Amino acid sequence: MRIAFLTGAGMSAESGVPTFRDALTGLWSRFDATALATEAAFRSDPALVWGWYRWRAAMVRRAQPNPAHVGIAEFARRGHLVDVVTQNVDDLHERGGASGVTHLHGRLFASRCLDCGTTRDPDPMLDGLDAIVEGVRETPPACDACGGPFRPDVVWFGEALPEDDWARAVAALERCELLVVVGTSGLVQPAASLPQLARERGARVIEINPGDSAVSQLAHERLRMPASSGIRMLLERHS
Ligand code: BV8
Ligand code: ZN
């Protein structure tokens, strides 16, 4: 079967990675994530925002893929044609065994110069991650080429999604027979418009989420449970 998985922050909740709905803690507790994840916030306080991404990178580095990540890779091992499209910037799908994952909103473990796009190897985002503690402001490194600040290689609010990743996601959702939407509130566009696309193409849509979301009404079936239980149930059903 050709299966597409569209995932959000709830996919990594059982790995201990807070969702975007979960309140921020410590230094960032007075901010909401959607405000911090903007170029304006970075320009007004680079050390605050860079520090936030470095902390998230350190936390994800310490986290492990959960049974839902591993279960999605199992579908491919069983011969299904699987496309994974994620809003998450973590690497837990890949560490769970999935290949060819489309990251709609970029990646945590990479950075580039805000002004000229220059990258650096080794990537400064990875530098000394094990020593990163929560709630620390950190000045982003300066670009060797233009002196501009390095920024995380993620898509901030108000920024366009990478065209090639978006095109891959649309193609995956248009050709799937089954779409499994896992752990997203369905509030962020244009990602939240993808389930409609699959449904219009005749795909069966199943949602896995303990709570209601903005895409629930698009689902033929709603599994009101955590990702790990929902993926296990579907694996048993498609064994
Ligand atoms: C753009 C990377 C234009 C950074 C992210 C008004 C109306 C409509 C749209 C807009 C609007 N105003 C602005 C917009 C556009 C905006 C948008 O949609 N805003 C929303 C908030 C209204 N979109 C943009 O800005 C996009 N760009 O529009 O550009 C443009 C176009 C052309 C040219 C120039 C410009 C860019 C959007 C991407 C932003 N970057 N991430 C970073 O990570 O720091 S978005 C980020 O937030 C995540 O990637 C993710 O997409 C989103 C969080 O949502 P979820 O993943 O769904 O997570 P959430 O916490 O919300 O929910 C968790 C769910 O899991 C819950 O439902 C919960 O019940 C469930 N759950 C919990 N535990 C479990 C579980 N499920 C299963 N198992 C569990 N155990
Ligand atoms: Zn530069």
Q: What CATH number did the domain enclosing 183 receive?
A: 3.40.50.1220
195 and 148 fall within a common domain: no
234 and 181 fall within a common domain: yes
100 and 130 fall within a common domain: no
Ligand 1 centroid, distance to 144 Cα (angstroms): 32
Quick check: helix, strand or coil at residue 149?
strand
Give the residue ranges of the chain where pLDDT is below 70.
Answer: 23-30
39 and 72 fall within a common domain: no
Q: Identify residues whose C-beta is under 5 A from ligand 2, the ion.
A: 113, 115-116, 118, 143, 145-146, 148
30 and 129 fall within a common domain: yes
Q: Where are the alpha helices (DSSP H) in 123-226?
A: 163-175, 194-200
Boundaries of domain holding 69: 1-16+65-105+161-239
177 and 101 fall within a common domain: yes
Q: Which residue's CA is the closest to the ligand 1 atom numbered 42?
A: 37
Residue 26: its pLDDT value, please?
58
Calpha distance 91→63 (Å, rounded): 10
Select from 93, 127, 154 the last residue of a domain. Answer: 154
178 and 222 fall within a common domain: yes
Residue 88: its pLDDT value, please?
97
Q: Which of 118, 131, 86 is nearest to 105 (CA)?
A: 86
Select from 154, 187, 219 the last residue of a domain. Answer: 154
Residue 23: its pLDDT value, please?
58
97 and 49 fall within a common domain: no
178-182 and 150-154 as β-strands: parallel, antiparallel, unpaired? Answer: unpaired
Select from 96, 122, 154 the last residue of a domain. Answer: 154
Is 53 annotated as ligand-binding? yes
117 and 196 fall within a common domain: no
Burial class (CB in 10 A: 0-12, 13-18, 19+), 28: buried
117 and 137 fall within a common domain: yes
Decide if 69 is catalytic: no
Residues 6+ away with beta carbon under 8 Å from 34: 20, 157
Is 219 annotated as ligand-binding? no
221 and 137 fall within a common domain: no
Neighbouring C-beta atoms of residue 107, cutoff 10 Å: 19
141 and 205 fall within a common domain: no
Number of domains within the chain: 2
Ligand 2 centroid, distance to 128 Cα (angstroms): 22
Residue 29: its pLDDT value, please?
66
The CATH code of the domain that includes 55 is 3.30.1600.10
For tokens 């490194």, the residue is 141
Is 184 annotated as ligand-binding? yes
- Catalytically annotated residue among 93, 105, 220, 238: 105
